[in-house]
Structure 1
Amino acid sequence: MRCPRCAHLDDRVVDSREVERGGAIRRRRECLDCGFRFTTFERLGDAVLVVEKRSGLREPFDREKVAAGVRAACKNRPVAKDRLVALVDAVEEHVRRSGPEITSQQLGVAVLEQLREIDEVAYLRFASVYKGFVDAGDFAREAGLLTKQTAPKARSTRHAIASGPGDALGAQ
């Protein structure tokens, strides 16, 4: 490490200790040329996550941009803020596990998968922007797909519960 006083490159570590709950190491150093003591901190650098847009443009992953999109989709919906934070955490973890680069399409699918579990209306809102819906038919098709993917058992259960002992489902 270069001495801040004389710019000499040789030093020795006098003291080392963990700080920031183990997130960094504080080192006290002494220059071997002039004897000046100085402090350095070592932190693990986060790998830069890159999102490749449809246009081919690459930009750093922006957690806040994902959170803003999810908040907009969930606006006026009964979704707790801690659920939104957990959703964004899960998406970010997915991005990190995917490697240093992910496409915007993969990112959008990851958000949609998480939203599907939380709120169907929020899912449709996000899908409408992400998939570029142009008319009500697009909403209807996506809602139909959503219903098929998430509730086939629930629908048959509701039907069976609504059926009485004398109707077609109850009669044997």
Structure 2
Amino acid sequence: MRCPFCAHEDSQVKDSRSSEDGAAIRRRRQCEGCGARFTTFERVQLRDLVVVKKDGKREAFDRRKLERAVALACRKRDIAPDRIERLVSGIQRQLETRGDEVRTEAIGEAVMAGLKALDHVAYIRFASIYKDFSEASDFAEIAGEVGEAGEQLVSAPPPDRSDKLL
């Protein structure tokens, strides 16, 4: 592993452990050239994904773009960073199981589904960019959908648990 400080080619692993969600291995390394310490993360990659854009162009899947989009939607929300990381890892695994190529629409829909389950405000923020909202009524429409889903959960009768009390 190349040192980010002096670009020396060799480093020694000092400590390894699983990340919080278990989807990556965190390694503490020390450069054999300058002695600086740094952290790396290793993730399982099922396959190399190619993203097919709306105009037909193809580019390599970039996890950092996905992380930035989700983080931007979740900005200033009370969402733990590990929950965001689990969401991004789950979306990436889901996309990797679909095949070698994935359309941008599939990525957007997967993010929207994940954010809707995670945080309604983050979901609306992402939807406003993804669906290119141009009027206030666009916000009202999607907020109404989120509100209806929440009302259904609240108004649904609780499951009968009387047999569990015995």
TM-score normalised according to structure 1 size? 0.62
Call closer, same or farther: CA 1:51–1:117 in 2, change over 3 Å: same
Deviation at 1:58?
1.0
Call closer, same or farther: CA 1:113–1:150 in 2, change over 3 Å: farther
Partner SS state of residue 142, structure 1: helix
Task: State the one-letter code of the partner of 1:132.
Answer: D
- Partner residue in 2 for 1:51: 51
Find the aligned partners of 1:72 and 1:86 in 2 and give their Cα distance.
16
Deviation at 1:46?
5.6
Task: State the one-letter code of the partner of 1:77.
Answer: R
Partner SS state of residue 98, structure 1: coil
Deviation at 1:123?
0.3
- Partner residue in 2 for 1:139: 139
Unmatched 5+ stretches in structure 2: 1-15, 17-43, 158-166
Question: Do 2:51 and 2:104's aligned partners in 1 also have CA atoms closer than 8 Å?
Answer: yes
- Partner residue in 1 for 2:98: 98
Find the aligned partners of 1:95 and 1:66 in 2 and give their Cα distance.
12
Partner SS state of residue 56, structure 1: coil
Matches within 5 A, 1:37-48: 47-48=47-48
Call closer, same or farther: CA 1:52–1:153 in 2, change over 3 Å: same
Call closer, same or farther: CA 1:51–1:150 in 2, change over 3 Å: farther
Matches within 5 A, 1:1-172: 47-154=47-154, 156=155
Call closer, same or farther: CA 1:116–1:45 in 2, change over 3 Å: closer
Unmatched 5+ stretches in structure 1: 1-19, 21-43, 159-172
Task: State the one-letter code of the partner of 2:113.
Answer: E
RMSD: 2.3
Partner SS state of residue 51, structure 1: strand
Question: Do 2:48 and 2:60's aligned partners in 1 also have CA atoms closer than 8 Å?
Answer: yes
Task: State the one-letter code of the partner of 1:148.
Answer: E
TM-score normalised according to structure 2 size? 0.64
Between 118-127 and 54-63, report the one with greater CA deviation: 54-63
Find the aligned partners of 2:123 and 2:53 in 1 and give their Cα distance.
21
Task: State the one-letter code of the partner of 2:96.
Answer: R
What is the number of residues matched between the two proteins? 116
Find the aligned partners of 1:144 and 1:45 in 2 and give their Cα distance.
38
Deviation at 1:63?
0.6
The list of structure 1 runs, each at least 4 consecutive aligned residues, that deviate by more than 4 angstroms after superposition, is none
Question: Do 2:46 and 2:96's aligned partners in 1 also have CA atoms closer than 8 Å?
Answer: no
